[in-house]
Amino acid sequence: MPSRRPAAWSRSTPDAACPPNSALTPAALSLGIGTINALHADCTLDPATGTTTANAPVAGASLLSGAITITDVDAHCVADATGLYSSSNVGTINGTPIGTGSGSLGTPGVATVFFNEASTTPGGQLQRNAIRIHTLLGQDIILAGCGLA
């Protein structure tokens, strides 16, 4: 469900798609950018109602040499007969409680962490990022994101 994947991410990063229904869960990923724990992605299509539901929870992450720690992240997207909907929640960023509100936190000399972002692409795709980290090098790291059209 992350729509933009940093080059450092491997194919083992969960990216669930509908149809068909799919779910992927690595216990932990250790990448050049850090460690992500209990990363999950699932997408289900209910043929009876036509409702598509995408979820992307992450238990926790330590990124960019430990400069950014994030806990209890979840992005949720739904497409049904009435439209497209999304929500997300972030437990903490570097110990600061976040919740469901959107905003950003800067880590001087490292990156800016944007949380609970929602947007619609020009093509009409709903995109929800629970966490998007924009590094000083201009790279975006998406943690717990979903998108539906």
Q: By percentage, how much of the chain surpasses pLDDT 70? A: 85
Q: At 147, is the pLDDT very low, low, confident or very high (cuts 50, 70, 90)? A: confident
Give the CA diameter of the chain: 51
Q: Across the chain, where does the E strand assignment appear?
A: 22-24, 28-31, 34-37, 41-46, 51-63, 68-80, 83-93, 96-99, 103-107, 111-120, 126-135, 140-148
Is pLDDT larger for residue 116 or for residue 63? 116
Report, as an integer, the average pLDDT of 89-97.
95
CA distance 103 to 41: 24
pLDDT tier, 3 (very low <50, low <70, confident <90, very high otherwise): very low
- Residue 10 clears pLDDT 50, i.e. is over it: no
> From the CA atom positions of the chain, what is the Rg in Å?
15
Q: Are 148 and 77 in contact (CB under 8 A)?
A: yes
Mean pLDDT to the nearest integer, 120-129 = 84
